[in-house]
Each structure stands twice: as structure tokens, then as C-alpha cells.
Structure 1
Amino acid sequence: IEFDPKTPIKKGVHTRFLSMTEVPTQGFAIGELEERPYSGGAKFRLADTLLARITPCLENGKTAYVDFLNEKEVAAGSTEFIVMRGKHNVPSEFVYCLARSTEFRKYAIAQMVGTSGRQRVSADSLKNYLFPIPKKERLIKFGLVSQPLFARISANNKQSRTLATLRDTLLPQLLSGRLTVRKAAEVVA
């Protein structure tokens, strides 16, 4: 697993940005991204895992699986993310599941340093985490089983966001009387 791998973005280039507030403590559905000129921070691409490095976000479980970018798109995020990326045929889903595992999180929390309230874990200390590495065949099988599940979760998250937007658009109009239920049904159909 690579920690904070080199991912190029030129300063000033407009890119999507993910703030820590948009990262969940459970699951991997992120909130809204904003577009802004790149000026620093974590750089990541599709299928990376983002792990919060700072108190209390790490303890609260803030971790994201990057399923919201296009194939060659690079985005940026808070400086308080550690980017994790599989290498040597390690499926990205395995990396995310490892980052979510209780044992890994306990290790990461134990490695935090700094003043109370501003403690952080470094990517370098996470490189020293020891765990049994599955054989190549098992990793391949894990990928074959987990990839469709992650794809389904991603599709469900996208559908949920679409439905929430539809609700937020139609509900005020229905409540104000500007739109009837019959007309709303036509709009949705």
C-alpha cells in the first residue's frame, strides 16, 4: 500500500476539492465537492482511500473511498487526509476495508503525536503497520467479490443523492401550492 503517493496537480489549476466536513464517519458516501484553484492539500484519484489524520476525525472514523471522480481526474482535499492507494495488484477495495478495520484504526490512533486536541498520525508511521498479506490469488478473489459490491454501493449513493435533490426541489413547491401532486408525478415520470 502506498501512503500519500505522488499525484500531480499544478498550483492554480481548477479542481474539485473535498473538505473534511464532507467525509462520513460510517460508509463511504461523501457530501458535496466544491470547485476551486488548487493551492495545496491532499491529492487523490479514483479508487483511492482517504483517511483522516487528525483528532477527533480519525477517532470518529472519517474515511472515504474515492468513487466520485472520472478515470483520469485528480482532485484535492484537506491537508488532514492521508491518501492510501493499493499497489502490486492490491485491490483498492482491500485498502479501504483495511483502513476501516478496528485493528488498523487502533494502531493509527496509538501513533498520533502532538498537543492535546491537535494530535495527528503521520503517513510514515502507518507504513510500519504489520499485518498478514494475503496471497496474490486471495487478493484477486477479494477484488472479484468486492468490486461489484462497491459498485452497487456507489450506484445506491448516487441514486440517494439524486432522490434527495428531487425531494428538495419538489417539496417546497408542493407545500406552497405552486405544484400539484398530479403535476409533480408528471415531472418525475
Structure 2
Amino acid sequence: MNHNPEGWHMHRPYHNRIELKEVVSVISGYAFPGNEMGSSGSPIIKIKNIIPPMVDTTDVDRISEVFIASIHKLEKFRLKHKDILVAMTGATVGKIGRFPKTNEIFYLNQRVARVDLRNPAQADIDYIYYVLSQAQYTDQIFSLADGSAQANVSASQIGNIIIPLPPLREQRRIAHILGTLDDKIENNRKTAKTLEAMAQAIFQSWFVDFDPVRAKMAGESPESICKRLKLTPEILDLFPDRLVDSELGEIPDGWVVGTLGNVAENPRRGIRPQQINTETPYIALEHMPRRCIYLSEWGTGEELESNKFMFRKNEILFGKLRPYFHKVGVAPVNGVCSTDIVVIAPQSAYWLSFVLGHTSSDAFVVYTDSDSTGTKMPRTSWNRMAHYEIALPPESIAKVFDELVVPTVHQMVANVHESRTLADLRDTLLPKLISGDIRVPEAEHLIENIEG
């Protein structure tokens, strides 16, 4: 896709430039004591939780409710939906994230700044977010940091940066068009989560709970079973009508106890850095979200300095470093990955969905974590994974399950590529809209042409 088509009209850039503090307040978080934090209580957002463009609320430290109750005036440190947060300390000074919608009450920790709008008659908060999320401004905030041991930037220094400020109406139009692209990206992510949940529900029903077998054993009519479990009569006929004892407990009659290694393998395709093309997609652990098989982020092979593993599209990537982080996903492209990632491939194509169901399950992650080696940086291994015991169904059931789930996987991968195209377009339009090099009607026309 061409993001810089001929025919864009260049306009006179906006000349109204102001200090950020003229329209916003920049407030640092509260110094919550580390010795009061644990696994229960109110969640705290720290620098580690800022993962641009969002704020991760799944891996948080918590502060006891007793401590919260003992401190007065914590209200101003409570976070709300769409708050703009800025990292103030460390190597990631300047990184920006927006707080998502949540039902829990979250508090902001020290060394993270929140940008609050002071004058809604002069500035639009969504526009301010898009300005600050540009590399030139995150880099500018980083350049202001001082400190010999660790970079630090103050709230006042953030407030002193200069930003362009077009008329309020134009700010809102810019924010709207960029937000439209972000909304499409977010809808793709939500769709992927829904598709993933549907596939996991079928996997749980068929291969963990054995619902079709138990329903037959209970004497439920085939019509009722098919309606309740959303099966066709042909699929229901593939399941037996009784469970038998095994070393794993009860499993369907005719199934056998096996291991993941019976149906999957670890293709160790090592590659040296000098063999990697600079444009080759590169996936590291930081590109992999937790508890999500939808992998939408990756870098490139440029400047890689150590050996990597090659993977192929639709193979499974499992983060073996700190496996409790639950980083498992389907590769949306061919590429290379960190050696802290295990590449898993089905031994036959029709086992893909079955293998994915197991390797992305909570039970499998707990198993790999249970005897990981290393105290501070525990790691699991393919050898450990391959010995994971499972109930193996007949090939006929694995094939039917794969036929149901693979279209879901393909849709998720297609959504990944669409979202990256939309993100590229957004990132191309963003600085041009904010600088005034192009105007909103031209950008709208470009988006219409892309969608058409």
C-alpha cells in the first residue's frame, strides 16, 4: 500500500505553537511503598505497565486496602479511562500509553506522569494524546532526562515541551480521523479475542471435559446434545458413549494416553545473524502479549547480533523464559524469533488446532512452569513440553476439530495484517495532519480509497 501517494497537496503548516503546560497539567503518581505491595488489594500502575499505545492492566502489583484507607487525598491518583500516562524514569522515559476501560479502581505509582486537560475550550485531549505519541515528542521527552545512573524527567520538564496547536475544531477533526483508524484496529483485536474464546470453549468441551461423551452416558437424546453443544449428528457420532479408566483418569473409550510429542515437534531451524535479511520479521518475547494467541507485533531482522530460530506462518510460538507469563501465539508470518521462544509445529497438519488448544491452556503453562530451571530467570524446554501427557483422540476427531478451528486462526491472522496496514496508515497520516502538511478532507479521501 502506498502511504504517500502523488497528489497530496501541501499546506501551510500550523504556526500556533505553545508549551504543553498551557493546556494541560502534568501530575506524577503517588510514592506507594514497595513493602506494602503484594498480590491482593488495589491495583497499581507502574512504568512496566506502559506498553504503547496502551497500558497493560493484567500484570500489576497491588497495594493493601488497609494502606489505601490510611492515606488521605488519594483521589487525584485514581486513573480513569483514556488517561494519558508518560514514563518518567529509566530507559523507557517518554513512552506513552492510554489507560483502558476497566471496572476496577487503579492508582498511579510514582515516576509515571498523568497528563490532564486544563482548558477544554482550547485543547482536545485526544489530539494531545496523538501529538505526544509521535516519536519526535517521545524522543524529546527522553532527551530532557537527566541523572547519571538512571534517566529521569520531571513533570515540569514534560510540561515545557512545545507542541503545535491548531484551532480546536481542527484538533477534534484530526483526533477523530486518527481515532477511527484506532477503533478499527481495536475492533480487530476484540474480534480475535472472541474467536479465540470460541475455539478454547470447543477445545475444553471436547478434549478436557469430554462433554459429548458424558451427554451420551447420561442418556440425553442426540437431538438435544447437538443443539446444546452445537454439534452436527455426524460429529456427535464420532464420540464414544462411555469413559474408561487410564493413568490420566477417565478418558473416552478408544482414545489413548500419549504425549504432546506424539503429535507435535520442535523444528530447530537455527540461523546466524549474517544470514538474516534486514526486512525479515523478527518476534521477541516483548512482541508477545500475555494470554493471547493473536500476535500483531514484530520487528525486523535489522541489527540482530545473535543466533535465532526460523519459524513458518501458522506455527506456534511459546515463550520458554518465565513460562508463567503465558506467552503463546500463532505466527502470522514467516520469520525468525528469539531463542527464548520455542517453535512448535504439528506432526501432521490436522493436529494444529489440537496442539494449539493444549499449548495455550492454563494447565500446560502451569506444567511447564512447575519445574522450570533457573531461579531469577526460569526457563522451560521442548523436552519438558514433549512429555506433557494428554488424551489422544482418533484422527477423525482431530481432523473435524481442525476444520472447525483453522478458519478462526486464518481470520485472526488476516485481522493482524489488516490492523498493521491501518496502523501504518495512521502513523503516516499522524505527523502530516498535526503539522498541517495535509488537511483532514484529504486524509478522509485517502482512507476511503484504501477501504474501497
Q: CA deviation at 1:12?
A: 2.8
Query: Compared with structure 1, are the counterparts of its residues 11 and 31 closer, same or farther at alpha carbon in structure 2 (3 Å cutoff)?
Result: closer
**In structure 1, the residue corresponding to 2:301 is in which secondary structure?**
strand
Alignment match of 2:326 (pick from 61, 78, 91): 61
**Distance of 2:393 and 2:384 partners within structure 1:** 22
Aligned pairs for 1:2-151 (under 5 A) are: 2-7=264-269, 9=271, 12-15=274-277, 16=280, 17-25=282-290, 26-36=292-302, 39-55=306-322, 58-69=323-334, 75-114=335-374, 116-151=375-410
Asked whether the 8 Å contact 1:12–1:39 carries over to 2, the reply is no
Asked whether the 8 Å contact 1:5–1:85 carries over to 2, the reply is yes
Q: Which amino acid aligns with 2:446?
A: V
**In structure 2, the residue corresponding to 1:91 is in which secondary structure?**
helix
The sequence identity of aligned pairs, in percent, is 23
**Distance of 1:167 and 1:5 partners within structure 2:** 37
Q: CA deviation at 1:135?
A: 1.3
Equivalent residue, structure 2, for 1:187: 446
Asked whether the 8 Å contact 1:14–1:38 carries over to 2, the reply is no
**Distance of 1:12 and 1:38 partners within structure 2:** 8
Highest Rg: 1 or 2? 2
List runs of 5+ in structure 2 lacking aligned partners. Answer: 1-262
**In structure 1, the residue corresponding to 2:437 is in which secondary structure?**
coil
**Distance of 1:110 and 1:22 partners within structure 2:** 24
**Distance of 2:349 and 2:426 partners within structure 1:** 41
Q: CA deviation at 1:179?
A: 1.4
Which shifted more, 116-125 or 13-22?
13-22
- The alignment's TM-score, normalised by the length of structure 2, stands at 0.38
**Distance of 1:176 and 1:89 partners within structure 2:** 50
Q: CA deviation at 1:39?
A: 4.6
Q: CA deviation at 1:2?
A: 3.4
Equivalent residue, structure 2, for 1:166: 425
Equivalent residue, structure 2, for 1:72: none
**In structure 2, the residue corresponding to 1:12 is in which secondary structure?**
helix
Asked whether the 8 Å contact 1:19–1:78 carries over to 2, the reply is yes
Q: CA deviation at 1:119?
A: 1.0
**Distance of 1:67 and 1:92 partners within structure 2:** 14
Query: Compared with structure 1, are the counterparts of its residues 90 and 108 closer, same or farther at alpha carbon in structure 2 (3 Å cutoff)?
Result: farther
- The alignment's TM-score, normalised by the length of structure 1, stands at 0.84
